[in-house]
Amino acid sequence: MGYISDLRKYVGHQPILTAGVGLFVFNSANKILMQLRTDYDSWGFPGGAMELGESFEEVAKRELREETNLEIDELKLIRVLSGKDTYREYPNGDKLYDITAIFVVKKYHNDIKINDVESKKLAWFDINDLPKNMTAYTKNYLNKFGNILEEALREFEN
């Protein structure tokens, strides 16, 4: 997080506006990939923050590779989330509002493995049986933005 960590030197923990991606990666059994995050010790979806000069698509490819070792062959934008419902606070006190591009990853290659220090575990879940221990912002997104997982699964099936 070069850009954000550099910005934090000037603004401390004050709320900032960021841009990033959330990735709904489905396997052939229609299960969705989640990561047990080290910072929250809770489950969330792969994704992350944009660096200067990156496109949303470039962020999606970089973050999925960094966090899971998977290389994206095809992805589809399903929604952009923004506004007060994207607020989050990290355990270290950093606060932000995020413009989040949500992508469905339909096709990918490579074997799944943890590639970074952000993930404790990677696992596949049925969208109707997600882990209870999810990050607050993941729960918020799922509660505030309607049937986003069902919408993503429909895109996967098309």
Angle made by CA atoms 27, 150, 119, in degrees to the nearest 5: 50
- Tell me the pLDDT tens digit for each residue of 9-52: 999 999 999 999 999 999 999 899 999 999 889 999 999 999 99
Type and span of the H or E element at 28: none
Q: Answer whether 152's CB lies under 8 Å from 26's CB.
A: yes
pLDDT for position 115: 83
End-to-end CA separation in angstroms for the chain: 34
- Right CATH for 2-153 from 3.90.79.10, 3.40.47.10, 3.40.50.300, 3.20.20.70: 3.90.79.10
Q: Taking Cα atoms as reference points, which of 81, 75, 77 lies closest to residue 26?
A: 75
Assess whether pLDDT exceeds 90 at residue 153. no
- Token pair for 30: 């229609």
Domain boundaries, the chain: 2-153
Residue type, 73: D
pLDDT for position 145: 65
- Tell me the pLDDT tens digit for each residue of 92-138: 999 999 999 999 998 999 999 998 888 999 999 998 899 999 988 88
Pairing verdict, β 16-25 and 95-109:
parallel
Q: Answer whether 103's CB lies under 8 Å from 76's CB.
A: yes
Pairwise CA distance, residues 50 & 8, whole Å: 15
Q: What crossing angle do the helices spanning 148-157 and 136-144 adopt, rounded to 10°?
A: 80
Q: Answer whether 28's CB lies under 8 Å from 71's CB.
A: no
- Tell me the pLDDT tens digit for each residue of 57-103: 999 999 999 999 999 999 999 889 999 988 989 889 999 999 999 99
Pairwise CA distance, residues 148 & 158, whole Å: 16
Assess whether pLDDT exceeds 70 at residue 139. yes
Q: Kindly report the backbone phi and psi dihedral angles of residue 66, in degrees, each rounded to the nearest multiple of 5, phi listed first.
A: -65, -40
